Amino acid sequence: MTIVLITLGFSAILAFVLGAALGFFKEKFKVERDPKIDEVRNALPGVNCGGCGYPGCDGYAEAVAAGDAPVTKCAPGGKAVSDALAALMGVNASAEDTVAVLLCQGTKDVAPAKGQYVGVPTCRAAKLSTGGTKLCSYGCMGFGDCTKVCMFDALHMGDDGLPHVDYEKCTGCGMCVKECPQQILGSVPRARLGSVVVCSNRAVVKATVMKSCKVGCIKCEACVRACPEQCISMVNGIPVTDYSKCTSCGICVQKCPTKCYKLLETDIMGKVVIKEPVSV
Amino acid sequence: MNLGTIFLASLLVENVVLMRFLALCSYVGMTSSVGQSVGMGFAVTFVTVLATAATWPIYHFILVPLGLEFLQILVFILVIASLVQLVEFYLKKNVPGLYAAMGIYLPLITTNCAILAVTFDNITKNYNLIQSIVYAVGVSAGYLLAMVLLAGVRDRIKTSPVPKFLQGTPILFVATGLITVAFMGFAGMIK
């Protein structure tokens, strides 16, 4: 019986001493923490995607509260969060809601591979070892590195060999944009209207493009000439739209001989994701 | 047993991870990069030595006189967990640099079974305080060694075509098994 009492007494004393010591030292070694960090952290979505480049939402909150990071870095939160952060930090800034758009239509049928690739099945390895598995060295290789980094289940490899973005789930965090070794995923503001070239082939020789992909931009510049607003210009071998002038008239979409011009609002963001490439 | 023998035996012959298969959770979890594994290894070393220095006197000067040896699991877990917490508070306040480098691993260590095993071993092997501390350093150095070895192997695995059914944790255990086989070469070195 005594041993039971001793045990009970000892356990109680031990628990009390340790508890008191912890409580005491917690107060004694208390670190003053900027309450702003918690406010900023509460305004963030808390998905810890890492798209901002900081270790999770906590890391970003600390950086924002310390004034080291801009308030517009949180892509999943978009405009709402950046506005909230701007209000907290007393700055004027606002981020746009963005989504990722694949700037390539080179499905398996229209953009042939240049040979059989048997190495490590990731885009990065294929790019490093062979410079791209397709005849078009700019196009999507289809190993799905982007789908592996997507935390929001918004990117899936289709049977056509291209990743498909689920625009309802995409938060625009940009992890896939950073991951793609071909750099053919673009961050596009969700609200943007206008035309876009869904091709990233920068080879300047028309014949090279035509041989490697049936839906590639062949640099004919028909779009540049056709645009009534003159808002299209060639930049590094790819026509680029000036969205301050584009009226979404759709003339460039009609004029493009290889059908690589698309309208963002109807062809990409709409339910019809990217129209089936028309064989030429 | 002299101190050198204790140290070598706990470091290599009875490596805590590779020969006794303790602390596998943090071993697999914290080895995704060499830097991280070194940080974790040093944090474990620090806490193990501290825990040994705290639990050995508690056992011999409190539990034994009171006849409460059977309480050692409960008491040791409580003491180690509280101790780690205290150290965390202290580092956060007074040595922020060390806290940033090591502190993030401390909560993970609170219930690390390698540390608990060391404190129990010290009792069952009848070590005195000096021997216990040398043993603690040896075991945690062995843990650090195993962590760094696996972290290095993992760097290589990342770029290797691993068969689908072995991807992820399974290939790590296969790799661990192979390192263990290599460590079996040390068996019999100390008798």
Global confidence as pTM: 0.55
Cα(B64)–Cα(B57) distance, integer angstroms: 10
How many domains is chain A partitioned into structurally?
2
Q: Helix (H, G, I), strand (E, B), or coil: what is residue A240?
A: strand
With an 8 Å Cβ cutoff, is A271 touching chain B? Answer: no
Q: Do B93 and A18 touch (CB under 8 A)?
A: no
What is the ipTM for the molecules in this complex? 0.71
B168: amino acid identity, one letter:
G
B60-88 residues labelled b (16+ CB within 10 A) or e (exposed): eeebeeeebeebbeebbbbbbbbbbbbbb
User: The domain that contains A172 carries what CATH number?
Assistant: 3.30.70.20
A103-134 residues labelled b (16+ CB within 10 A) or e (exposed): bbbbbeebbebeeebeebebbbbbbeeeebbb
Confidence at residue B104, expressed as pLDDT on a 0 to 100 scale? 63
Q: Do A30 and B75 touch (CB under 8 A)?
A: no
CA distance B107 to chain A (A): 15
**For the CA atoms of B97, B98, B102, B107, what is the dihedral angle to 10 degrees?**
-90
| CA angle, B138 then B140 then B146, to 5° | 105
Which alpha helices (H) appear in B103-168, and where do they start and end? 106-109, 113-124, 129-158
Cα(B176)–Cα(B69) distance, integer angstroms: 35
A27-36, A135-144, A253-262, B4-13: the lowest-pLDDT one: A27-36
**Residue A235 placed within a domain:** yes
CA distance B61 to chain A (A): 13
Indicate the residue of B67, B74, B90 with minimum beta-carbon distance to A29: B90
pLDDT at A139 over 80: yes
Q: pLDDT by residue (tens digit) across B114-151? A: 889 999 999 999 999 999 999 999 999 999 999 999 99
Confidence at residue A273, expressed as pLDDT on a 0 to 100 scale? 44
Report domain extents, chain B: 3-186
Q: Do B78 and A10 touch (CB under 8 A)?
A: no
Provide the number of CB pairs (under 8 Å) joining chain A to chain B.
44
Positions in chain B whose pLDDT score sits under 70: 1, 101-104, 191
Last residue of a domain, one of A46, A68, A89: A89
CA B173, chain centre distance (Å):
18
**Residue A212 placed within a domain:** yes
Q: Do B78 and A14 touch (CB under 8 A)?
A: yes
Which alpha helices (H) appear in chain A, and where do they start and end? 2-28, 35-43, 56-65, 78-89, 123-130, 145-149, 175-179, 206-212, 222-226, 251-255
Residues A183 and A245 in one domain: yes
**Residue A261 placed within a domain:** yes
- Say if residue A187 is exposed, middle or buried (CB neighbours under 10 Å; 0-12, 13-18, 19+): middle
Residues A244 and A132 in one domain: yes
Structural domain of residue A80, as residue ranges? 35-89
Residues A107 and A180 in one domain: yes
Q: Do B92 and A31 touch (CB under 8 A)?
A: yes
Residues A63 and A200 in one domain: no
